[in-house]
Amino acid sequence: MTNGSCRVRTLAGLSAVLFLLVACGPSDDNEEVVSIVSGRVEEGRRLSEEACAVCHAIKGDYAVTPATGAPSFTIIADNPTYTELGLTVFLNSHHDRMPNYVLSAQDQADVIAYIHSLRPPKVEAN
């Protein structure tokens, strides 16, 4: 159960990551590294309440959840690094202060769809 050949963490932030991850390919023991499935916002909200809300403010305008120091999902949603791919990489990486989740590709896609549903509307500068 290793995915050492695809150390996704080291690739974070590269726009070519998706290509590289796909090129690494699903092998027998890491078939769920990248979500190719489409996310469902409502499912993602439910999952976030179950798995993430204990540490993250998963809705509303809070910047940081005081008890844990975890950024709110609104802040995460507004971070340009956290595209669908960026979040997928994050959710498959090791964290020091956050549990390492093993979420199915569908669950990841759902959570990401929910986070992205919190993105503020973009204001055109002119």
Number of H helices, E strands in the chain: 5, 0
**Residue 55 Cβ vs ligand HEC, minimum distance, rounded to whole Å:** 3
**Residue 74 Cβ vs ligand HEC, minimum distance, rounded to whole Å:** 11
- Residue 14 structure tokens: 């590269």
In three-state secondary structure terms, 55 is coil
- Biggest alpha carbon–alpha carbon distance for the chain: 52
The reply to whether 99 sits near ligand HEC by the rule CB under 6 A is yes
- Binding pattern for the stretch 47-76 against ligand HEC, x by CB under 6 A and - elsewhere: ----xx-xxx-----------xxxx----x
* Choice from 17, 77, 87, 118 touching ligand HEC (CB under 6 A): 87
Instruction: Give the alpha-carbon dihedral of 74, 77, 12, 70, to 10 degrees.
Output: 10
Q: Which residues lie near ligand HEC (CB under 6 A)? A: 51-52, 54-56, 68-71, 76, 79, 82, 87, 90, 95-99, 101, 111
